[in-house]
Amino acid sequence: MIFGSDNQAGASERVLAAITEAYRCHDDAYGDDHHTAAANEVLRATFDTDLEAYFVSSGTAANMLALSAMVQPWDGVICHHQAHVLLDESTGPSLFTGGAAMMPVPERDVRLNPQAVESMLGRLPADAPHNVRARALSITQANECGQVYAADEIAALTAVARHANLRVHLDGARFANAVAALDVHPGDLTWRAGVDVMCLGATKNGAVAAEAIVFFDRSLADDFGYRLKRTGHLTSKARLYGAQFVAWLADDHWLDLARHANAAAERLRRELADLPGIRLAWACQSNETFVLVDRPLFESLTAAGVSMYEWYPDALPADERIGDDELLARMVTSWATSDAEVDAFAAAVRAHAH
């Protein structure tokens, strides 16, 4: 009963076969190989635009490198108060950008909203060069709290950013789940809605380790090769990433995997409606589900082999509170979650509820 994270899952047979195939022969090194070129082509076709992509093995590396190409050391990146770039990447984004600050929107909401971003921008001190200069907005899709932003919501956020001369970064570690949930063209959720650079994650959704830094604004990719090299991210046998991306994107495999993960989450959420001692913390639309669980039940479930993570209590919206003997937990389904696993979880809750 694995609900800790979607990166606990393995990799799809198609992706595994593509990696094996890619290493049967010689090819050029450091990203000059056929697979890297093919992945760029497939990404251009998928997003329907003339983008430029680079590849790394972790989402953290992708975010840090992307931001380093978007802001100066004296700049700030506005983000959600639960953003991965703020809470889960140590001081990496500051290190890679040469010192830029991550600036959380103070409102405790489960999603970024344009008014909150606008009002934060309006309140920032503007006494240059004494203050931090906000220069980028980072949006996560699917978001930190398991929700998705429709294309017009992304466009509304990027409009506020543009108005304040901010560039827009999209953390798409679970972008596939968002596209699958919304059933819209990936271009509509990104460059057509004003996103400049996105990090597209495949690792959590069926790849071994493959994250793309996708430049819709190609001018920001100038010298990006140097950024990869000097941070140790220019992989010599770089075909690893290209091969995974080509197989992952082919025939909508990425969306089939994400649809499966989302459907498993829907099944889980349906079960939760009738389970004792555990309840949905807020509505979710992707493969992440947040629950409030009785603490003794959480401990019994963990002892019974359920993997799920206790989560940051601050993720809860400002008008909600956690009961004294409750905790907030995150449950994530993946492309590999079976119906039987969800059913076994529901049975375990019924057996252990106090």
Ligand X SMILES: Cc1ncc(COP(=O)(O)O)c(C=O)c1O
Q: Provide the binding-site residues for ligand X, judged by CB under 6 A.
A: 58-60, 63, 84, 140, 171, 173, 203
Q: Which is nearer to ligand X, 140 or 337 (CB)?
A: 140
Least spacing, CB of residue 294 vs ligand X, in Å: 26
Nearest approach, Cβ of 42 to ligand X (angstroms)? 21
Question: DSSP string of 50-90?
Answer: --EEEEES-HHHHHHHHHHTT--TTEEEEE-TT-HHHHSST
Measured from the CB atom, is 209 or 327 closer to ligand X? 209
**Cα Rg of the chain, angstroms:** 20
Residue among 118, 104, 308, 136 at smallest CA distance from 220: 136
Torsion of CA 329, 284, 57, 243, to 10 degrees: 140
For the CB of residue 203, give the shortest distance to ligand X in the complex, in Å.
6
CB closer to ligand X, 19 vs 145: 145
Q: Which is nearer to ligand X, 46 or 63 (CB)?
A: 63
Residue nearest to ligand X (CB): 59
Residue 103 CB, nearest approach to ligand X (Å): 17
Whichever of 210 and 268 has its CB closer to ligand X, that residue is 210
Structure tokens at 309: 């993570």
- Dihedral sign for Cα atoms in the order 246, 6, 195, 222: negative
Count of CB atoms within 10 A of residue 2's CB?
A: 19
Alpha helix ranges (H) inside the chain:
13-22, 34-47, 59-68, 84-87, 92-97, 114-123, 151-163, 175-182, 224-230, 239-249, 253-272, 295-303, 339-352
Min dist CB 189 to ligand X, Å, is: 15
CA-to-CA distance for 143 and 286, rounded, in angstroms? 9
Residue pair 272/279 in contact by the 8 Å Cβ criterion: yes
Nearest distance, CB of residue 174 and ligand X, angstroms: 7
Residue with Cβ nearer ligand X (79 or 264): 79
CB of 300 to ligand X, least distance (A): 26
Decide if 187 contacts 193 (C-beta within 8 A).
no
Residue 134, both tokens:
């906000």
Asked if 93 contacts 64 with a C-beta cutoff of 8 angstroms, the reply is yes
User: Least Å distance between CB 71 and ligand X?
Assistant: 18
Q: How far is the CB of 198 from ligand X (least distance, A)?
A: 11
59 or 194: CB nearest ligand X: 59
State the first-to-last Cα distance of the chain, in angstroms, to the nearest integer: 20
Q: Which is nearer to ligand X, 53 or 297 (CB)?
A: 53
- The three-state DSSP-derived secondary structure of 249-278 is HHHHHHHHHHHHHHHHHHHHHHHHCCCCCE
Closest CA to 2 of 343, 299, 341, 260: 341
Neighbours of 130 (CB within 10 A): 7
CB 31 → ligand X: shortest distance, Å? Answer: 20
Which of 171, 326 has the CB closer to ligand X? 171
Distances (CA, A) of 189 to 88, 105, 115: 24, 22, 20
Q: Which is nearer to ligand X, 58 or 300 (CB)?
A: 58
